[in-house]
Structure 1
Amino acid sequence: MSADKKTIYIADAHNFLHRNYHALPKLSTSQGLEVGALYGFVRWLVKLVEEKKPHYVAVCFDSRGGSTKRKKMFSDYKAHRKPVDEALLTQLQLAREVVSGMGLKVFAVQGIEADDIIGFIAKKSVAEGADAVLATSDKDALQLLNEHIKLWPAGAAKESLKGPDYVKEKFNIAQKYLTDYLAIVGDSSDNVPGVAGLGPKTAAELINNFGYLEDIIKEAKAGNPKIKKGAAQKIIDNEAVAILSKQLVTLDENIPMDFTLEDAVFSPPAPAKLSELFAKYEFKNLLSAFDSARPKNTPEGELFSQDTEIKQGISFNEVVNKIKDKMFIQTDENFVLISADSQTCCLEELDNLTQEELLKIEELANNKQILKISYDVKFTLRALDVTPKEIINCFDVRLAAYSLNPGADIGFKALAAQYLDVIIEPKDEKEFLTLQNQYIWSLKEVLERDLKEKDQFKIFNELELPLITVLLAMEEIGVLVDKAWLENFSKTLEGEIAAIQNDINKDAQREINVNSPKQLGALLFDQLKLPSVKKTKTGYSTDEEVLQQLVNLHPIVKKILEYRSNAKLKSTYVDNLIMLADGNSRVHTYLDQTGTVTGRLSSSSPNLQNIPIRTPKGRMLRRAFVAEGGKTLLSVDYSQIDLRLLAHESQDSVLVNAFKEGGDIHTKTAAEVFGVMREMVSDEMRSSAKAINFGIIYGQGPMGLSQNLNISVREAKEYIDNYFAVYKGVREWIDKNIALARERGYVKTLLGHIRYLPEFKMGSGHMASFAQRAAINTIVQGGSADVIKKAMADIFNHYKGTEVKMLLQVHDELIFELPEKNLLKEAAVIKNKMEHTIELKVPLLAEAKTGVNWYEMEKLKL
């Protein structure tokens, strides 16, 4: 490729976007629109323009729809490909606008694949005296390579261009035979069949001996002894398929498109226009595109490089002595890093920390004058076994990113890419911690600025950050479990599981592995001839939904469900609790502030929010959670908080008055919906009304309600229509907030937490329906989460340093351990604080229960 010739760069847009989508962090805009793949592609285009300074650029896209020539030739062409993810599809659609806005030329033809357009443009350009560089990793492009057309597989600056010899290196054949090679081996990604039973090694041997596919077929038919009989027969049997496969993999030179080099001239846009375009998708770090300026949001003088090494000779004490008003502290599985700035740090193994060093870390953690910056403060302090005495002064980068967009990827690598234009690829744990120190300081500044700009800083600073200390204290205390009772319960379940297994074997007249979907499928649908409800790629589906539909058709189905229920209860909960209990028989769950998009806390290792309560045995498991001697457990649970939030937000007069009057809200709803006196409401009516009340919050429609209540869709629609006829204000509020969410792209909770809903703009009816449900659900459930988090902080501050310990939060319930002698007094205080933590338009009510364990609890009259 001559250096003095003009060169056209031809980019395969779909190839880049697909690779970026699966390789890069899933970045999102502040509106929740996923743009990670698009950002990676645009970032590469910017570097191409800056580094190569091309005169000609062609960015090629696949057809937006319609049949391609290959699809007409072979209806199963690309038939096995999974549907494109909605998020990627959206970015593919956005890419054309962005590319054009950058001054680059978009080339796409209806019904024509990008590969064919690339080949067409490359050959036309060479005919006009230019060289062509193909930026793609698609192997079909290799057939184009020659003296003037080169491949740039990854588009990396340091990567050399590949010529025809590259085909020899990869496939051990001359480049001119590539389509013959692909015709024999096929292409699973495009569902090109090839010759069944012949692999790459045989294909290369055949080509090196005989050349083109047509010649190989001719020699196979002639019985050439150089071709093994088995291979020859496969070639003869698959002759038509092989020829078709060659046609499918050969790029089409005859496409309906006019092209000259001047059509691909790069015309840089005005800086203002480019800035406006990149600002639209929040590509903040590319606003300085087409020049060598540093990213605009990085601090002055900050140098970003992955080549930074830990300065040698920096000891723990030297770093600590440098700490004045802020520090960075972060642990991983084996190491802890402490620093006073981005350039110097101390990195030590957790197991090698001395007692003096641990005490110093605890002193720093409790020093209110020092800001503790971390990617995950709670995880770090828990790993160091440090529990602050007071609310810790900290800035948690992970929590800040979550507060800005709870639906986005908040992994450190994703944040570095999104906010600092840095791709982090550490080789080990130590280097990752060092890189975190290098970038965390700038991330803190950028995130803090964005929190203030997006009106999220106050709730982050005054609710979420203080809650870290509350949760850390709860995790450190843990919950006491009765290990002896758990061990006995495990043995009981084990015996019951064995007995059920014997019953199933007798009914099946053979031994059945109940944990094998394949064996169950054969038993239920082949042997017992039960109707097949659903199939998977590997056979019959035997999931719980399927079995529930079959439960009345044969007694064995009920036994299978009971077996699974007992087995899950034993392994997932009972045995897990025994294993996770510490030496003092306490279980320490992990409470995560970033685990849900609605703002609710989640629990893991073990998940104590998900202790089963739908079955008698599941509920009995709560018997294992006990109080220490002389103490009792106290549970204080908000009463119907989600419905009260709905009344507060909607200001529906009927619903508000119902709560102000008191009494059972589900009975009142049943009386209104079914048009009867409250005294005439049956248990079935109340149950239906309860399903409707909560179904409204979850955005449930007639279909969902009909399945829930086992009634017809027509009846379910009638119930919902009756509900909205009574609660007109709720209907108006739902419609108003869905419209507002669609317009803004987000919703906010009671205290101001934000959730973006990009699904509204994904062009799919299914995704738009999801967004409508999520909008209402987030406002209500997110508001409930706001209330209980505020209550937790208030109660923690009131009781810090006392014998009243908050142990667990399970959705709308708080569980405490406290001296039995102080029960009535403290229960009244806690109940009062929960009911008055936030003033709503309806009363907030909480119910208190107590007991020696979580199962045997009695209501307290306060």
Structure 2
Amino acid sequence: MADNGSGGQHDELYLIDGSSLAYRAFFALPESIATSTGFPTNAIFGFASMLVKLLTEHGQKPTIVVWDAGHSGRKEVSPDYKATRQSRPDLLREQWPHLEPLVEAFGYRNVKVEGYEADDVIATIAERARRQDVPVVVVTGDRDIFQLIDPDSRVRVMATGRGITDTKLYDYQAVLDRYGIPPELIPDFYGLKGDTSDNIPGIPGIGDKTATDLLQRFGDLETVLASVEEISGAKRKQNLVEHADDARVSKQLATILRDVPVDVDPVAEAAREPDRSTLRDVFRRFELRAPLARLEDALAVEDETVPAIPTEEATVRVRAREGGVADVRTLGPAGSEITIAVEPPLIPEGQLLAENPTWRFGAVVGEEGLYGTMDSAEELVSALGDRPVIVHDAKALGVVPPVLAHDTLLAAYLLEPARRGFPFSEICEERGLKCDAPAPLAADAALGQALAAWQREQLTERGLTALLRDAELPLVSVLRDMEIAGVRLDQERLAKIRHRVQDEIAGLEREIWDLAGDEFTIGSPQQLGAILFDKLGLSRKRRGKTGFSTDARVLQAIRDEHPIIPRIERWRELNQLMKTYLDVLPQLADAESRIHTTFIQSGATTGRLASTDPNLQNVPVRTELGREIRGCFEAAPGHVLISADYSQVELRVLAFIADEPVLKEIFVRGEDVHTATASQVFGKPASELTPMDRSKSKMINYGIVYGLSDYGLADRLNIAREEAKAFIDAYLERFSKVAEFMATTIEQAKELGYVSTLYGRRRQIPELRARNYQVRTLGERLAVNTVIQGTAADVMKLAMIGVHRALAATDLQTRMILTIHDELLFEGPPEEADAVGELVEREMVAPWGDRTPPLAVDVGVGQTWLDAK
């Protein structure tokens, strides 16, 4: 603090270069940062993060945010000044109008002076403040403003680094330490070296180091120009003479004005309270989750109440009474929706679950709520009966309510499929929901009810209600039944494979070390790189952060250069399978040798299902060892496994959506699509095609679906990029409707900001609007792939629901136990296999209706998963 001369002290005055920070935030953060509706927010996110940082780390300070509103006459001095700067990018232009209101919500003042740059306005205010003994901190991303720092450091600069919130505070000594010259020589520094970002010419051939050396030696620009004869280097002397006037103009352009007509009295500026309600509303509207969390931490002590979602009261109030299971039956009018929240029992380590665990629950209907305890989730669900239930993550209850009216986790997933997780408390906080019920779980139930109301509005607005009702909600109980059923593991067979693989890994290690002439950690990329590239001298392909890459694609490319490479590839394959399956599966088997995976319904942006603990989606089928592992999954004694697998479902979806007649006809005729495609693309009859022709065709077929580039295709087929491009061009020329579909999808996605599947599932594609070419092309691939793969995922989910219901309506004992991408696996008596096969095939094609080409399902039966497949 500083004494103001009358016994008082002035707070530091913060002057923020708003234009500089907004541009730095925009260029520092990925352009794919956007809201769930696709509105770009990278600049808003970065700008808000910086303001939160200032608030949390420095407290409430008198703060002015200054904006550019002209060039301060520099265009008259040099018409080329900032001429090379591109116009404001479209994505930044969309965000710009929201920055000044954000500043005001923080309690800060916006200032701009028509015709002047922000630097000059800041300098003028800072100079006044210095004269009035008001300490100043200037916050900016521009380094030329260091010239404002005075010898007493009454004016300091908080400079942002590469990250928008990565800052360093500079005083007089810090500038000396960094540049080797005092702050007052910064204009002379730029006069000599110029500044390409502002198109300030300087003197050719003089960079930072030379400029510093010259100023340290001679003192200032004019002395440097007057001392040319004392400077070494003929070319440098010539440039100093010929471009002396350029240097003087450059210094003038870099010199910040300190006499701008701005109506600001630094002494009168005071710290203002942020508008907490407006701030939270803005942060939630733009889905700034991380900055909001930091903001809440900063404001929590002073402000405990927060606004609710639009159209709702600020705080959900519930009349809660303590009760038990019996109360659930009578809570609210019969048949009305009931919202529940459950907390599983906390079991101390070593204590058996059977030792009287207590589950806590809360339930609410309207404004009436209760909370109590129970022995199990089954007891609660039983008490609910056929009441429509709202809950967050119904499958996690362990027993799914018979009438699941709404799941706030699944609704959040449909609204924001790219989100990493869906914690209930986090989602409620983002919506501004609070509840004053006397028990936490009664409060959670009330919050869930309010959250569900808002989500339903959003789902209706975005056309997602039917998808939640018809696909996601009914699927919950299907997945839970499959998790409970599990799949049997032949542990003895798996153990034999494991021992054999261990021996092979040990042998491979010895061979690799012999070939390398040294023992090293094969799994270490750094050590492996040193052996391959430094010691053995193999071809270097791509450099990573810690050295040259040794990933699978690099090894594939140099496979023929040394016999060590195939052994390393095999070692990696075996180690991965060992760590993922051979070591892990036996530990996960229950007393009946059954594996119970957990299905993840909300993990993929395309809508596909995943599984974990263990991940059974990725058990390999293309390698011999992978097939052996599949062979360890077996039917229970007296039963068989039945596999039902869609035949090239994504290519059939592509043929329909693209309305590609040639591709449709191939499927309708029942031909092998890869052979037929190869014949079309290469112009050969099927009899003349080579196996390599079919492999190329298969790769192109699926490459189109997954957005494979010519580079990617060349890499996978180990062919020249030009050849790969020729294959793709020939494919798109022959299947012109596919090319048309891809172009149309991308254009519509650019216009709307999202793509939709045939069943209405949405995915935002903010990458499409990025300036970066690679990010933009990624967006194009995601747009095309999501429509195809997402539609196939929707078909599979609807098929699973149909199969589950159809089996339940019969007396058959067969049950569905596993789903893996496009395949369903069943277990049941062998005498039911034919009937089940017919039922399953019928239900799996039913969601597709009479669309052309029709879907096809391959059904197989066997004692093991491998045999059935």
Asked if these proteins are the same fold (TM beyond 0.5), I'd say yes
1:833 corresponding residue in structure 2: 843
Deviations 1:457-484 (A, max 9, x none): 1111221111111111111111111122
Distance 2:390 2:308 in 1: 26
What secondary structure does 2:481 align onto? helix
Distance 1:617 1:479 in 2: 20
Q: How high is the sequence identity, in percent, across the aligned residues?
A: 28
What secondary structure does 1:420 align onto? coil
Which segments of 5 or more consecutive residues in structure 1 lack a partner in the other structure? 65-88, 155-170, 185-191, 195-238, 267-273, 286-291, 425-429
2:173 corresponding residue in structure 1: 180
Distance 2:261 2:568 in 1: 69
Distance 2:419 2:261 in 1: 43
Distance 1:283 1:40 in 2: 13
2:41 corresponding residue in structure 1: 35
1:297 aligns with 2:316: no
Matches within 5 A, 1:30-429: 30-33=36-39, 35=41, 38=44, 57-59=64-66, 95-100=95-100, 105=110, 120=123, 122-126=125-129, 178-180=171-173, 254-255=255-256, 259-262=260-263, 295=307, 297-298=309-310, 300-303=312-315, 314=322, 316-317=324-325, 320=328, 323-324=331-332, 325-331=337-343, 334=346, 338-341=361-364, 355=375, 357-364=376-383, 367-374=385-392, 376-379=393-396, 381-382=397-398, 386-387=399-400, 390=402, 392-412=403-423, 415-420=427-432
Q: Taking structure 1 as reference, are residues 421 and 554 closer, same or farther at Cα in structure 2, changes over 3 Å only?
A: same
2:503 corresponding residue in structure 1: 495
Distance 1:129 1:573 in 2: 72
Distance 1:648 1:262 in 2: 66
Q: Taking structure 1 as reference, are residues 748 and 258 closer, same or farther at Cα in structure 2, changes over 3 Å only?
A: farther
2:487 corresponding residue in structure 1: 479
Deviations 1:535-558 (A, max 9, x none): 333334322222222221111121
Deviation at 1:370, TM superposition (A): 3.6
1:778 aligns with 2:786: yes
What secondary structure does 1:849 align onto? strand
Distance 2:25 2:368 in 1: 36
Deviation at 1:572, TM superposition (A): 1.3
The correspondence for 2:555, drawn from 522, 527, 547, is 547
What secondary structure does 2:523 align onto? coil
Deviation at 1:432, TM superposition (A): 8.9
Aligned 8 A contact 2:41 2:95 in 1? no
1:805 aligns with 2:815: yes
What secondary structure does 2:15 align onto? strand
Distance 2:607 2:174 in 1: 55
Aligned 8 A contact 1:125 1:260 in 2? no
Letter in 2 for 1:327: T
Aligned 8 A contact 1:330 1:377 in 2? no
Aligned 8 A contact 2:746 2:783 in 1? yes
Q: Taking structure 1 as reference, are residues 284 and 354 closer, same or farther at Cα in structure 2, changes over 3 Å only?
A: closer
Q: Taking structure 1 as reference, are residues 798 and 491 closer, same or farther at Cα in structure 2, changes over 3 Å only?
A: same
2:640 corresponding residue in structure 1: 632
Letter in 1 for 2:339: M
Deviations 1:33-65 (A, max 9, x none): 45377268569989999xx9999842469999x
1:446 corresponding residue in structure 2: 454
1:815 aligns with 2:818: no
Matches within 5 A, 1:355-754: 355=375, 357-364=376-383, 367-374=385-392, 376-379=393-396, 381-382=397-398, 386-387=399-400, 390=402, 392-412=403-423, 415-420=427-432, 436-437=444-445, 439-754=447-762
Letter in 1 for 2:380: I
Distance 1:421 1:48 in 2: 26
Distance 1:178 1:436 in 2: 50
Deviation at 1:812, TM superposition (A): 0.8
1:188 corresponding residue in structure 2: none
Aligned 8 A contact 2:34 2:40 in 1? yes
Distance 1:489 1:62 in 2: 73
Deviation at 1:613, TM superposition (A): 2.2
Aligned 8 A contact 2:390 2:449 in 1? no
What secondary structure does 1:340 align onto? strand
Which segments of 5 or more consecutive residues in structure 2 lack a partner in the other structure? 72-88, 161-167, 181-211, 221-252, 270-277, 290-302, 348-358
Q: Taking structure 1 as reference, are residues 20 and 480 closer, same or farther at Cα in structure 2, changes over 3 Å only?
A: farther
1:209 corresponding residue in structure 2: none
Distance 1:528 1:492 in 2: 30
Distance 2:26 2:433 in 1: 15
Deviation at 1:562, TM superposition (A): 1.3
Deviation at 1:647, TM superposition (A): 1.0
Deviations 1:358-417 (A, max 9, x none): 44223146x22141322x2222x13xxx255x4x41422221122113123553365335
Q: Taking structure 1 as reference, are residues 683 and 594 closer, same or farther at Cα in structure 2, changes over 3 Å only?
A: same
Letter in 2 for 1:577: L
Q: Taking structure 1 as reference, are residues 43 and 539 closer, same or farther at Cα in structure 2, changes over 3 Å only?
A: closer
Aligned 8 A contact 2:150 2:172 in 1? no
Distance 1:581 1:108 in 2: 72
What secondary structure does 1:837 align onto? helix
2:78 corresponding residue in structure 1: none
Deviations 1:765-785 (A, max 9, x none): 222211111111111111101
Q: Taking structure 1 as reference, are residues 850 and 590 closer, same or farther at Cα in structure 2, changes over 3 Å only?
A: same
What secondary structure does 1:770 align onto? helix
Aligned 8 A contact 2:668 2:854 in 1? yes
Letter in 2 for 1:851: G
Decide which moves more: 651-660 or 101-110: 101-110
Aligned 8 A contact 2:306 2:314 in 1? no
Letter in 2 for 1:420: G
Give the number of equivalent residue pairs.
720
Aligned 8 A contact 1:38 1:91 in 2? no
What secondary structure does 1:487 align onto? helix
Letter in 2 for 1:527: K
Q: Taking structure 1 as reference, are residues 639 and 522 closer, same or farther at Cα in structure 2, changes over 3 Å only?
A: same
Aligned 8 A contact 1:136 1:152 in 2? yes
Deviations 1:1-39 (A, max 9, x none): 88999997634657799999999xx98424334537726
Q: Taking structure 1 as reference, are residues 523 and 713 closer, same or farther at Cα in structure 2, changes over 3 Å only?
A: closer
Distance 2:647 2:768 in 1: 33
Distance 1:491 1:607 in 2: 22
Deviation at 1:100, TM superposition (A): 4.3
Aligned 8 A contact 2:598 2:613 in 1? yes
Q: Taking structure 1 as reference, are residues 787 and 447 closer, same or farther at Cα in structure 2, changes over 3 Å only?
A: same
Letter in 2 for 1:767: V
Deviations 1:728-749 (A, max 9, x none): 2222222222111111111110
What secondary structure does 2:824 align onto? strand
Normalising by structure 2, report the TM-score: 0.71
Aligned 8 A contact 1:27 1:409 in 2? no
Decide which moves more: 332-341 or 655-664: 332-341
Q: Taking structure 1 as reference, are residues 36 and 476 closer, same or farther at Cα in structure 2, changes over 3 Å only?
A: farther
